[in-house]
Copies of this chain bind each other. A is one copy, B any other.
Amino acid sequence: MGMDNKIIKKMNGLLTHASDEDKGVIYQILEGIHDKNEGLYTTYITSFMKTSMEIRNDVLIMSIPISPFLHNSVDIVHGGFTATLADTAMGTLVNRKISHEVVAVTSEMKLNYIAPGVGNELRCEAKILHLGSKTSVTEAKIYNDKGTLIVAASGSFYLIPRTKKKD
């Protein structure tokens, strides 16, 4: 109850001065938490990013709308979000392909930022290059809705027992 009041007070203070852009971001965040509670997402950040996903022919495609929430200080998508998108898409694909007794944990990732993240949507296509019993190697490409290649990424994952921590 105390927390509810703190939130409502903070929100009322904010709304007085907030820009339309701020309000759009707030609404996007609230929708995200709602969708997470509905079971559509397992993490806050992916719920805020509004990731959607499909798998076609062993390629996992994860898409997000581009909105001000994603912007860096020069109004293109912050490289941290493309990194988050690539990591999530590659890791989700590996987790889909392995036994439920193990979980994929990122061991390393590299990203080449090729074009600025602008447009309506980012679409990440991830695929598995190698799937062993203890590790997996993957790659991903992120395009915008005009088909421009924005980011090329590669990553490795440790497959560890669900109950244990990594090496």
Contact = CB atoms under 8 A, between A and B. Distances in A.
A60 to B, nearest CB: 16
A59 interface: no
Contact of A15 (B4, B20, B78): B4
B45 A30 contact: no
A110 B110 contact: yes
A57 interface: no
A85 to B, nearest CB: 8
Nearest to A137: B112
A47 to B, nearest CB: 10
A24 to B, nearest CB: 8
A152 B167 contact: no
Interface residues of A, number: 76
Contacts of A42: 72-73
Interface in A28-72: 29-31, 33-34, 36-37, 42-45, 68-72
A34 B8 contact: no
A99 interface: no
Contact of A22 (B14, B37, B166): B37
Interface of A: 3-4, 6-8, 10-11, 13-15, 17-18, 20, 22-27, 29-31, 33-34, 36-37, 42-45, 68-74, 78-81, 83-85, 87-88, 91, 103, 105-116, 129-130, 132-135, 137, 139, 149, 152, 154, 156, 158, 165-167
- Pairs A-B, 7 closest by C-beta atoms: A80-B84, A83-B83, A132-B167, A42-B73, A110-B110, A10-B30, A114-B130
